[in-house]
Each structure stands twice: as C-alpha cells, then as structure tokens.
Structure 1
Amino acid sequence: MGAQNCLRLAMLCVLSVRLAVAAPVETGLVAHWTLDGVANDRTLDATSRRPARIVGASAAEGTVGGCLRFDGKDDFAEVGDLGTFGAVTLAFWMKPGQVERTDDWQGLVSSDAWEEGVFHLPVRNGTIDLYLHLGETRRARLSSPRLRNGVWYHVAVAADRPANNMRLYVNGEVVDSTDLAGLATNFKLKAQVFGRENGGRYFRGALDDVQIYGQALTDRDVRTLCPDATPLRRDLRNLRTGNRIPDEGYCDQPYVVVTKDGNWLCLLTTGRGPEGDRGQHVISTISADKGRTWSEPVPLEPADGPESAYSAPLLTPSGRVYAFYGYNGDNLTSLDGWKGKFRGDMLGWCVTRYSDDSGRTWSERHRLPMRATACDRSNDWQGKHQIWWTIDKPVTHGGHAYFALTKLGRYMLDMGEGWVFHSDNLLTEPDFAKVRWELLPEGEHGIRAPEFGSVQEEHNVVPLSDGSFYCVYRTTTGYPCHSYSRDGGRTWTKPERMTYAPGGRPIKTPRACPKVWRTSNGRYLFWFHNHDGKSFEGRNPAWIAGGLEKDGFLLWSQPEILLYDPDANVRMSYPDLIEQDDRFWVTETQKTVARVHEVEPALLQGVWNQQETRSAATAGLVLNLDEARLGPHEASVPGRLDLRETGGLSVEVWVTFRDLAAGQVVLDSRNEHGAGMALLTTEGGTVRLVLSDGKAKATWECDPGLLTPGKLHHLVATVDAGPRVLTFVVDGVLCDGGSAREYGWGRYADDLGDVTGTGRLRVAPTLTGSLRCVQVYSRPLRTSEAIGNWRSGR
C-alpha cells in the first residue's frame, strides 16, 4: 500500500471516529457530561448543571470536542450520588492507554462505594471487567473482548432489575450479558467517580461523553449513541454474544418458525419460579429483525391456570402456525406417597392452538387423541393420566406431519419410551375437528431397548430422502441411541448406540437433549456435548456434527464447538435451528436465559464437506517446516503467540515414532521459566501438549492406544482460547476419550497469555523417530481444517 493510500485510510479512520458521537437518547436521561469544557477544575452535567470535580485529569481532544485524559497515577473526577434506580444505563467513550496492565483494575465510570446494587466498571488485563454487587458474597460479572491501546471504544451497560438482566455493549453490540437472580435492591449510583476504582486504582487513558439513564436502553437505543463505531470482532460461538429472547424468569425450549411475513415466531415455556413450578406456561413472541429485538410476549395459556409446557411450533403451507404442548388439563397437584417436589409440567394432555396471523392471536385449545398404551397403564395412575413431554419440533414429509414425544411408565422420569404423532391431513385441513391423528409405532410398546436402562427420553425424528425416518434420544449410559423406520414410523429398528457411521465409533453425550435437524439443503446437523457423562451436567460447550445420507443411513462428521460459555459451570440445552436467506441461527436456553445465535457459515460447510475436503489450511500459518528441514535443530517462530490476541493456536506434525518411550521431546519453545509450548511423549504412550505463559499453565494429551511405533501419524494439537479448550485430532479423528476416559478434550481454568517462550522452536531434540512436517498456526484450526490437512498430506 502506498504512502498516499495509507494517509487516505488514516484520514477515513479519524473521520469515522469524529462522526461517531450522536445526540443522547432523551427519554430517561439523568445526567450527561460531555466533558467538552473544563473551568476551575469542574465540568458540568448538560442536563442539570451538576458539576464533576476534576482532580489532576487534563482536557484533551475527544471524539467530538473535548474529553478528559487520566494519567493512571492519581487522576480522577468525582460526581457523587446520582440516586437509586430499578433500571439504569451507563454509557461513555473510552480510549485506553495501558490496557494490558494485569496488576490491578483501572476504574472507568465506577464507584467509590461497594455494597449491594453498586456497579464497578473498570478495565483490567486487556478487557472491560464489570462487577455488580448482588449482596453478601455474590457478584454478577461481565467482560468484553480484548481491547487495544489508543483506540476509542463506546461502552454501555444496561441493567434492568424487573427484567432480571444486565448487558454489556462495546461499539453498539452486546458482548456479554447475564441474569440478576437474587438482587434484592435497586441499582445504586452512589459515590460515582470517573477514572478511578475504590481504593485508589486509576485509569490511564481518556474518557468522553458520559451519559447516565434511569432506564435500560434497548439495543437500538445503544446503537444510536455510536452509529459509526465499528463493531468488535466477536466470537459468535460465545454464548454471551447472543440476543436474548424475553421470558418471565425461567425459560425453556425457545423454538422458532419463520412465518409467511418473514418474521420469526418463537414459542417458549416460562414462569416466575424454577422449572416445574406452578405458574409455568407457554408464551409466544415475534421478532421482525432476525432475533435482535422481540415483541411483548403473548400467553397461550395463563400463568394462573394449570401448567402448560414444552411447546413446539409447525408452520403449514397456508401460513397457519400450530403450537403443540403439554397441558395439565386434569390439574393434578399431588401423588399419593410422593415425597419430593411434585411437578405437573409433564402430566396430562397433548394440546394445540393455532394462529392464522403469524402468532399475534391464537385459537381455542384443542386436544390431540393420545392413545393409551402399556406404558400408560403401568404408570402411577394406571393410565387414567399420562406422563409425557416433547422436545421435538414437528417435521413434514410427503404432505404429512410428524412429531415425536416421550411417554413415561413411572413418575418421575423413569421407564421412558418414544412415540410419534402422525397426521395425513393437518397441513391441508382448515377445520381442526376434521384432522386425523395416529400414534406410532403400532402396538403397545414405543421406541426403546431394555439394555439401555430406565432413562430413554427426549426422542426426536427427521425424515430421510428415501422416506425413512431417523430417531435420536438420550440415555444415562453416556451415549445417545438411534433407530430407523422404513415404513413411515409404524415399526422401528431396535435402538442402538448412535455411531458416526454404521458399525463405527459411538457418539458420546450425557443426559442432555441430543437434537437432530434436517436442513433445507438435504443435509443434517446433530447437537450434543461430546463426552460420556451419565448425569445432567456437562452441557458446555455444545458441539455440532454434520450428517450426510449414504445407502439409507446417516454418516456423521467429526464435531466442532458450536457454542460455549466462558464459565464452564454454565449449561445450555434445548436448541432449535433457524434457516432464512441462506443463513443459520440456533437458539438455546440456560433455563434462566434464552438466546439466539447466528452460526458462522464456514463452520457448517466444514462439517458437511469434511469427508471430501483435501485442501490444507493456510490462514494463520506462521511456521512451515518440511522434511528437508526437520533434523534436530532450532527454528524461529515469527511474531508472538499471545493467545489473548490470536484466540488460540494449532501445532501440526507428521511423525513416526520408533518407540513410544516417555519423555521424548518432539517440539519445545519453553524458556528457563517454563513459558512456551512443547509436545512430549508420555508414559501412557500418548503425546502431550504443554503450554505456559510463565504464570498459568495448561496441558492435555491425545487418547491412548492411537499411536503405533513405526507408523506415520498425523497429529494436530489445538488451543481454542475462547472456550479454553484443548483438543487433539489424530489421523483425521477428533479424540473423544474412547473407552479410556470421559473426555477426549480438556478445558483449562486460567487465562493463558503469551506462550511464545524463547521464540525459537527446538525441533525433535530427543525424538526417537522422524518428522515429515511441522506447522504452527497463530489461530485455532477447526476440526474440519485439521482433517483437511490430514487428507491433503496422505
């Protein structure tokens, strides 16, 4: 790029910043310090002339007009008490000068107080690090992606106690959000201060245009405050970057259809209490902007009536939308002899309402004829009442409609089996009284196999192109089961462990919803959690595999991480898939927060094309050593490998071991303090990746039993710094632990920074064997890319 073009680009960048500040949103504005004028160590609030007392900070050129510059030593500006609010927004511009500091927090728009309802809003270790005091030892915490020095960023925090949520924005986009469960007081803007944290922790940089609102601004409102700001590069997989779907506190199964008018209609189960409480009911809400904002919810059933739950929508060719859900129509509230919490959310009737105006209004309730079977007659009510629920979004095939459900033979959550409702005229018959239904399979027993135990539940089905149906469901064996029907659901093959290919490696997942979808391109996707835990835990990350049909069976790709939360304890489940305009989104719920997330197209194309791709990845390749340069020696690694900047890394080797003795060093860049990375052999006959930035350390190794002396192997070790996950792909297969361990991938707890080490990579210093190729990437390769590299080098 020539000097003239560089100058033009720089002028455009400056212009975009100078035009970024917009007029404040007038509704609810409590205070607005433009910071344009400073006189007698004071700058005035433009709304009420309230002064901010300046100590040390100096005037400088800001985004538009003036700003305050802070030296990071003892500069600050005092504002004082601004009041108490049920909802509040803090918005401002900031330009950090030493964002990488890790020794302490640097206060931005913060407080000298620290008690329940008080915000602290500093920057630390490269990110905005927001805390809200929730009382006692509880805190709500939000954080931003990494920031750079010398760049103006618009920051906003919107907190809403009645809506039970708090959102952090950077440059007009949500970068993190959380619920506020347990906050017993309103928000307190007490002892407010700019440029300092309580205890004298100071900000180095500049602040401009501070605005305080006595309401939680909407996404659209926040964007109007910084219309020209460039959104940060976000990891779309990060759960916290998704757009929230409205709820009443508890939320479940946020399922969406794209209606005839192009809007999204979402059905979900919600309530003010936790899952299973009285008051749980089904609502609908509409988005006209692909999930960014949502309409006021419409209840299909009232919160003060019998429980309604677990709805699933179906769009018909006429534009009518059906909502199928469970309804405790007999209003059961107890069971003789039951000593635990009694739940009515999976008891009673299967019902539907329909909407002919895309979800704005709903018909009267209609009950589906769910025939009693042996499972019902053996339950706690001897078949007088049925125990069931559905997580299956209805599908259509050949002009017919289908959806799966799970019946239980014993309260609560025991002796499950799968059934499928089928209608041959629902899609065309406007008079619901004339709609025909049958419950499949034929006979007395549903889809289950005794050897998989009592828990066989959350069945869901998709049609195949040849007219067959494919069913997946969860168990407590550490594996989902699958089954095929070749006669329209009337009979099913005996369920087996779900495998990546017929007779192949089993797919692992715990007791969590395993969701299968058929997409409009005739391909398939499978949501699961990729470990063989037996409980409800371990639902983070969510993994996705792509499926293709071959000879009447589904073949599944090696999986990719689809979504994660940085907090490994957060769980997600009950997803739905949305397709519109050749784009894909998924919804999910954590039971208190439901969100929608756009999916990166390359991720889906990767899992669908994985079995054919033979191209090697080149983006991010910083070191490439071929066979001619692979004797024992040192190679320089260009640039720094700071995982906070790169998002991770991948190390790839083609290696032949003469033996698998422990302690062989394949690669090593560690310095005398242990900072750097290394590939080593272990006593278990595996290869271990070791990483350290001098403070934090992470290690993981490939699955045992995969390496054979004398055989050429391809290994890709990857550090994905977003979810903090370490993976190995060995000879084109992602390690999943096999029968040796629950997890084939590891999650590290402490944030890893610069793992460059010496900057010199020692190659094969003590390897008993030979290397054919070594490659280092300054980014994490996706599973599909690692497999592509393996195929290209075979």
Structure 2
Amino acid sequence: MYDWRLLENGLEIPAVTYADQPYIIRCNDGAWLCCVTTGSGEEGAPGQHVSTCRSTDGGKSWEKPVPVETPGDVENSYAVLLKAPSGRVFVFYNRNSDNVREILSHDRQEVITRVDSLGHFVFKYSDDNGRSWSRERYDIPFRLFECDRANVYGGKLCFFWNVGRPFIHNGTAYVTLNKVGEMGRGFFQRSEGCLLASPNLLTADNPADAAWETLPEGETGIRPPEGAGPVGEEHCVVPLSDGSFYDTFRTIAGHPAEAYSRDGGKSWQPPQFMRYADGRPVKHPRAANFVWKCENGNYLYWFHNHGGRFIALDPYVTYEDRNPVWLLAGIEADSPEGKVIRWGEPELLLYSDDPMIRISYPDLVEENGRYFVTETEKNKARLHEIPAEFLAKMWRRAAGETVEPEAEELDWRAEEFRFPPFLDRNCEAVNRPSVRTRNGYALRFELEAFAAGTLFDHTGPDGRGERVELLPDGRIAFYLSDGCGGSTAVSEPLPDCNAGRLTVNVDGGAGIVSFVWNGRFLDGGDFQQFGWRRFDPQQVPRPNPARAATGAGVASLRIYARPLMTCES
C-alpha cells in the first residue's frame, strides 16, 4: 500500500553526494528555485559548496544545477534564499574567504579541521530567476557580541552559520544568524542567535549600498532559557499578524525554546521552553526545528517529538533520533503582551524504515492550495507533498473544533474478526516473499472508570493476537504477537485516573504505537524519552481462534481500519 509519509516515496532533488538544507522559493516566472549545500565528501569536507537548480513542473524534474561560487573554491555553505518584491533573488551563505584550514577548540586542546562554519557571511543575487548568479559577492557586516569577543581568537575570527528562512517585514529584509562562542565538545559548544536586518537591501540598485544592523541591541544574542545549557542555535523567526516576531530554536536540554520580540527584533522577551496549549513542554533533541507561517495565516512546526531530561546524557546522543518527523499546527492567540502562537498536538509526518536514518533541514512550499516539504538525510534531498486535508484537520483541532475520523470501522464482535495484516505475500514472485502492507488500526476506548486490568483481549491460547491493559500505576500496555514473535509498547502513566477517551494507534507503516488520552498525545513526559514506541511490523498473519472482548471499565470501544490522527483521536 502506498504511504505518502514514507521517506523513499519523495522526489529526489539533485546534489553531488552530501546534500543539506534543500530550500525552495517560487520565482516570478513560476519556476521553483532550490538551493542545496553539497559536495563529494561528507558534511564539512573540503570542496563543500552551494548550488541551485530550477524546476518548472513542481519538483518532478530539475534543470542542471548551477554553482553559486566557482567550483573548487574555498568552502561555501548553508545557503538560504530570499525573493524581493521586484523578483530579484538573494542567496545568503557562509564563506571561508580567508581559507582558514584549521582552528583550535575553546580549551586549546584540540585542532579542528572542519572549517565550514566560520569566516564571512556573504550574499549574491540573481536577476534572471536563478539561472545565474552575480559575479560580485557582498559581505554582510555584523556586530560582535560578547560571545564573539570571548572566543578562542578574541573575535578576530568568528564562528557562525544559518538555517532559518529569511523574511521581509515592513520593507526590511531579515536574515537569521547562529553565532558560536565556543567550539569543542559536541562541535558547537556554546551558541546564541541574532538577526541581520537591512532596511534598503530590497530597493538598492547596488547591493553594496545596503545597510545592515545586528539585532538584538546590546552585547548578547538570543540565548537559551535559564538552566537549559549553553547551546541555543538554529534560530527560525517568523513575523506574527500584529508585527511581533516569534523565534524557535534548539537546545541541549531535550526541549526546544521560543521567544517573542515586540519591537522588530531590537529586544526579546526572556526565552522559554516551547509549550503546548495546555502548558506542558514540547520535547525535541538537538536537531533542526522549523516554524513556518502559511499563506492562510496559520503555522506549522517541524520537530522530532522526544527528548526531555534523557537527552542531556551525552553531547553526541543529543543529535540522534531524527526519524520519524512530527508536525504541530499553530494558530495565533491573544496575550497581554501581544499575539502568541498556540500549538496543537503532534502528528506523524514522515518516516523511514531504517530507524538510524536522520531526516532534517526541511523547507515548506505552498502553491495553489497544495503543500510540499523538502528534507534531507544528508546524502539525499527529497520533496514530499502533504495532503492539504491532513493539515486542515490539524488546524481545525488547534482552533478547538472537533474532528471526527472518516475511517472504516471494524466489527470487533464478529466471530471472524481480524485486524488488518501488516504483511502479505507477493504471489507474482516465484518465491512468494513477504511485502509490507503498511496497514494499521486504532482502538478508541471510552472508559467510564479507572479499573486496572484488561481493556481489550484478542489473544489465543499461545498468546497470539492483541491485548490492551491498564496497569495499576496508570500506564497503558499494548501487546502484539503472531504466535512466534511479538512486541510490547507501554505508555507513561495517564495524567489522571478519571473517566475519559483513550486511543491506541497502531501504525504499521511507520512501525509505531502511540497513545492519546482525552486528545492529549502521551509523549513520555518525565518518565520516558519516547512516548511513541516502535514495534516490529514483521508479523505473519496466522489464524487466531480467539474472540475479542473488552474488560471492566470500558463503556464502549470502536476499532478503525487505519491509525487515527491525534486530532481525530
């Protein structure tokens, strides 16, 4: 069965070997223009460079890539694109203009030869919709912060990079920049964010005449919340409808951070951990997290939906587990200080069958009511279309509407009841091997009381089948077996022991079991790094003579022939 969420079902974007930050804008001639940081080696290897390519058919095919700099020149990396109202396109990127070949760690105990996140922050422009780039490049001057002057070179050499999408507000162009104060443990050992703002870049005939201001004012940038550690990076900023700016960025505390500016980036309210509408913190590792403002005025947030206190155990472990990708829908709400974003519950967006694959550095493209995301696993960049109805349901639920599932219901009381199988046979092949169906299902309980014990049982004498239990400590356990092998998934304790709705989603595509209690996705809280749990979908469909039954405390049960979205649960 085709699953649009499967990573390998995306359309590939051209790159050499390494592929990073595949970001797309729509040009005035209707073409899509994509910039990619690429190279023949791994991330940070010599020869890393920025190239762009155009598509005139919505990403189905791409023209020959165009290098922004002369191939074989010094490292140029981590590009982002901005289109002016005139149609001129700017590409901003790091450039190791001084050809620095090695640097010292902050403690001066290590020589680091990766040199792609230092030097000069520059830009070029295109007046032909990305078919070619200006011969001249232009340095963007930025003001030194305390973290720059305190680095191992006293600010004479600065460390930085960028991933956030530039934006235009009241005629001023804004580009984010991640400043690095210390290199060492975990590579970027101390970091903070800022904005580079130009009031006349979009109108200057000669880009060299553009004036630039570094924001916020003062000696420090946007730093992580108190107690979150020294890392606050990969800032992503969007303007809200009242002119406020919203910034989200990654930390090493197991939670993303957010901050608001009410004066165009000159100052920022103290950063806080990002939270759901009910106040609990969002969980996320040290990975790219992106916020996008959509044409309908709503917001989307890309993240990985795990973390918490478990993330801080090791500086390199914090970079792991970027598969699957999850999405939040956001809507604006009022606060005493101004507009804020109120975030909904997680929905699974993309996955790979290989749990070690890392999916990251996305962009969002909208065209004629259709939505697309890009992503990279660092050696392949791809484009994926997201069904518009999938996002519409998320925004409706975030706005407080009820979203009922439009899905086939299964009669679990029937004598021949069976769940949809995860495997089938390929009878066209001589050896008739298995094929993943990518089926799934959902069990939606209405509980009338807290009664520890079996909620649902469909297991035979040898344990084959499915069972859901409410454990005495309030956790939910799901058991699955084909009589030869099986899986168990256990949730965090329920947040309350009252009557309510429990949904157990069994996603045979992603191989993930998740639990939703009264509309709240159980993300593990302080009990588990992962609220969602992996299971093995390599379950052979075998006869099961058992009849399904519910236990005490279950007022009703509905079983659906597909996993439900969180907003439907």
The partner residue of 1:537 within 317, 320, 336 is: 320
TM-score, length-scaled by structure 1? 0.65
Question: Deviation per CA, 1:38-71, whole angstroms, max 9, x where unpaired?
Answer: xxxxxxxxxxxxxxxxxxxxxxxxxxxxxxxxxx
Question: TM-score with structure 2 length normalisation?
Answer: 0.91
Deviation at 1:621, TM superposition (A): 1.1
Q: Does 1:623 align with 2:418?
A: no
How far is the alpha carbon of 1:343 from its aligned partner? 1.4
What's 2:69 paired with? 301
Q: Distance in 1 between matches of 2:273 and 2:438?
A: 38
Aligned to 1:751: 538
Q: 1:328 to 1:529 in 2, by over 3 A?
A: same
Distance 1:615 1:446 in 2: 41
Q: 1:579 aligns with which of 349, 363, 366?
A: 366
Structure 2 residue ranges without an equivalent (≥5): 313-317, 424-436
Q: Contact (CA 8 Å) 1:692, 1:752: kept in 2 or not?
A: yes
Say whether 1:495 aligns with 2:271. Answer: yes
Distance 1:388 1:353, change over 3 A: same
User: 1:225 corresponds to which residue?
Assistant: none
Which of residues 277, 292, 300 in structure 2 aligns to 1:525?
A: 300
Aligned-residue offset at 1:750: 4.7
Instruction: Say whether residues 1:417 and 2:206 are aligned partners.
Output: no
Q: Residue in 2 aligned with 1:699?
A: 488
The alpha carbon displacement at 1:568 in A equals 0.7
Would you say the 8 A contact 1:728–1:735 is kept in 2? yes
Question: Aligned partner of 1:641: which letter?
Answer: P
Q: CA deviation at 1:763?
A: 2.1
Distance 2:403 2:292 in 1: 28
User: How far off is 1:479 after superposition?
Assistant: 0.3
Match runs of 1:249-648 below 5 Å: 249-336=17-104, 337=108, 339-363=110-134, 364-411=136-183, 412-449=187-224, 450-501=226-277, 504-532=279-307, 533-534=311-312, 535-551=318-334, 552-611=339-398, 612-623=400-411, 636=415, 638=417, 640-644=419-423, 645=437, 647-648=439-440
Instruction: In structure 1, give the amino acid aligned to 2:267.
Output: T
- Please tell me the residue identity of whatever aligns with 1:614: T
Instruction: Check if 1:657 corresponds to 2:449.
Output: yes
Counterpart contact for 1:650–1:718, Cα < 8 Å:
yes
1:745 Cα deviation after fit: 0.7
- Identify the match of residue 568 of structure 2 among 748, 768, 785: 785
Which whole-Å CA distance do the structure 1 matches of 2:325 and 2:18 have between them?
A: 21
Q: State the 1:426 CA deviation.
A: 2.1
Pick one of 510, 519, 525 that aligns with 1:732: 519
CA separation of 1:698 and 1:755: change in aligned 2, threshold 3 A: farther
> Equivalents in 2 of 1:758, 1:560: separation in Å?
35
Tell me, in whole angstroms, the C-alpha distance in 1 between the residues paired with 2:397 and 2:205.
44
What is the aligned length? 535
Measured in 2, the distance between the counterparts of 1:389 and 1:608 equals 32
Rounded Cα–Cα distance in structure 1 between residues aligned with 2:113 and 2:216 = 30
Query: Over aligned residues, Cα RMSD in angstroms?
Result: 1.8
* Residue in structure 2 matching 1:775, options 555, 558, 561: 558
Q: Of residues 685, 707, 713 in structure 1, which corresponds to 2:474?
A: 685
| Inter-partner Cα distance in structure 2 for 1:593 and 1:618 | 35
Q: Does structure 2 conserve the Cα–Cα contact (< 8 Å) formed by 1:674 and 1:694?
A: yes
Secondary structure class of the residue paired with 1:669: strand
In the alignment, the residues of structure 2 paired with residue 480 and residue 658 of structure 1 have an alpha-carbon distance, to the nearest angstrom, of 34
Q: Aligned equivalents of 2:261 and 2:255: distance in 1?
A: 20
Question: Could you say which structure has the greater relative contact order, defined with CA pairs below 8 angstroms and 6 or more residues apart?
Answer: 2
1:743 deviates by: 0.7
Structure 2 equivalent of residue 19 of structure 1: none
* Local SS of the residue matching 1:586: strand
For the residue of structure 2 that corresponds to 1:458, the secondary structure is strand
**Distance in 1 between the 2:537 and 2:422 partners?**
12
The 1-side partners of 2:205 and 2:157 are apart by 30
Aligned CA distance change for structure 1 residues 473 and 650 (closer, same or farther; 3 Å): same
Native 8 Å contact 1:319 1:358 kept in 2: yes
User: Using the alignment, how far apart are the partners of 2:534 and 2:542 within structure 1?
Assistant: 17
Deviations 1:342-393 (A, max 9, x none): 1111001110000011111101211111122222111121111110001011
The residue matched to 1:652 in structure 2 has which SS? strand
Alignment of 1:167-182 (within 5 A): none
Question: Aligned match of 2:529 in 742, 758, 772?
Answer: 742
Q: Quick one: distance in 2 between partners of 1:523 and 1:760? A: 46
Cα-to-partner distance string for 1:599-650 (whole Å, 9 max, x where unaligned) = 12122112111133324324211138xxxxxxxxx65465552134461000
Amino acid aligned to 1:523: N
Find the residue that maps to 1:610 and give its secondary structure: helix
Q: Cα offset for 1:482?
A: 0.5
Structure 1 counterpart of 2:475, one-letter code: T
* Structure 1 Cα separation of the partners of residues 450 and 61 of structure 2: 60
* Gaps in structure 1 of 5+ consecutive residues: 1-144, 146-233, 625-633, 787-794
- 1:193-241 CA-to-partner distances (Å, cap 9, x unmatched) read xxxxxxxxxxxxxxxxxxxxxxxxxxxxxxxxxxxxxxxxx21110001
Of structures 1 and 2, the larger Rg is shown by 1
Shift of 1:657: 3.4
State the secondary structure of the residue aligned to 1:605.
helix
Would the alpha carbon gap of residues 435 and 777 (structure 1) be closer, same or farther in structure 2, given more than 3 Å must change? same
Q: Which amino acid aligns with 1:537?
A: E
| Cα distance, 1:656 vs structure 2 | 2.9
Who is 1:202 aligned against? none
Distance 1:756 1:657 in 2: 33
The answer to which of 367-376 and 608-617 deviates more is: 608-617
CA positional deviation for 1:582: 0.9
| Change over 3 Å in CA distance of 1:319–1:706 after alignment to 2 | same
Give the secondary-structure state (helix, strand or coil) at the position aligned to 1:760.
Answer: coil
